Amino acid sequence: MKLKLAVLPGDGIGPEIMEQGVAVMRAVCEKFGHDLACEYAICGADAIDKVGDPFPEATFKTCMEADAVLFASVGDPKFDNDPTAKVRPEQGLLAMRKKLGLFANIRPVETFDCLVHKSPLKTELVKGADFICIRELTGGMYFGEKYQDDEKAYDTNFYTRHEIERILRVGYDYARKRHHHLTVVDKANVLASSRLWRKVAQEIAPQYPDVTTDYMYVDNAAMRMIQEPRFFDVIVTENTFGDILTDEGSCITGSMGLLPSASTGEHTPVFEPIHGSWPQAKGLNIANPLAQILSCAMLFEYFDLKEEGKLIREAVRASLDANVRTPEIQVDGGAKYGTKEVGAWIVDYIKKR
């Protein structure tokens, strides 16, 4: 298979973890006989510094011409600490989602037995937790009409039937591939937009009789995720709720550095780790590359290259079991491994299989 990637390292630790992700991609493609071509492009604070735009037209063109986008992170303190800044790195991420029509964000939450002690939750609650959050990505308050002055402000939580239906069908498709259980999360007792979500969901549910559908208010879902994470299989929800719940879900595993994600929709899909740019760690060789590497597994699986994705997941688990880990998840007294060393170990594992 010929695979053309747009590679967007971005800011902070992005270039460091991306280097390991691309190395893993190349190792897998070499083993399975795929032809991989990578074209690098700028985004985020790096792009603002260079061309004044966090998602320049040249980067958009590179993404549109690729089969998939491998993305790392955006963000820089010089923008975070300047509330007057009119152009911000995160605007590039929103622009990428909008221009590529990426309406579905897929975030798996999977625990690793050797790391359950790192979770803030009790082992008996966390062990075996394995679910997916599917977040609508281009609607809701993040993209609705906004206003702000010194006395008042508002953000409009706007949704159409079409937007709700298409993300629900993504959720049902994933539920059918997993354990046939879908939880629709809303706030239908208070919000009109949520009542439309629930109405559309109730109309669609009978078309998927093999999937058990339940409905949960977002506050209850947040509580249930902590009390009983194994209850969930596939969660589908709107943009703002999804942003909050997916970050909450990431804590279950004990480290945000372990979780990948995919964003899919009308054009080129994007695969990325869920963590941020962690600028304080830039250049220190301490950032965990596993979420970036697992994003590569999701990329292969998106193209139905299941054995390739399986090998990456096997290599990641093997590295954890062998205590080849970056500092934030290393066991007491364990050997010191940095970003580069963990990536090299996994590449070596893949080549030897």
Domain boundaries, the chain: 1-100+268-353, 105-255
If one counts every other C-beta atom within 10 angstroms of the C-beta of residue 33, the result is 7
CA 230 from chain center: how many Å? Answer: 20
Please name every residue paired with 235 in a beta bridge, in sequence order, or none if there are none. 133, 183
pLDDT at 80: 75
pLDDT tens digit string along 278-329?
Answer: 999 999 999 999 999 999 999 999 999 999 999 999 999 999 999 999 998 8
Identical fold for domains 1-100+268-353 and 105-255, yes or no, is yes
Please tell me the CATH code under which domain 1-100+268-353 is placed: 3.40.718.10
**Among residues 189, 106, 191, 93, which one has the least CA distance to residue 142?**
93
Single-letter residue type at 190: V
CA distance 207 to 79: 47
- Would you please indicate which residues are annotated as catalytic (active-site) residues? 142, 187, 219, 243, 247
Mean pLDDT along residues 62-72: 97
- Return all residues near 148 (Cβ < 8 A) that are at least 6 apart: none
Please tell me the CATH code under which domain 105-255 is placed: 3.40.718.10
Single-letter residue type at 11: D
pLDDT at 270 over 90: yes
**Among residues 145, 218, 132, which one has the least CA distance to residue 182?**
132
pLDDT at 333: 87
Single-letter residue type at 239: N
pTM for the model stands at: 0.90
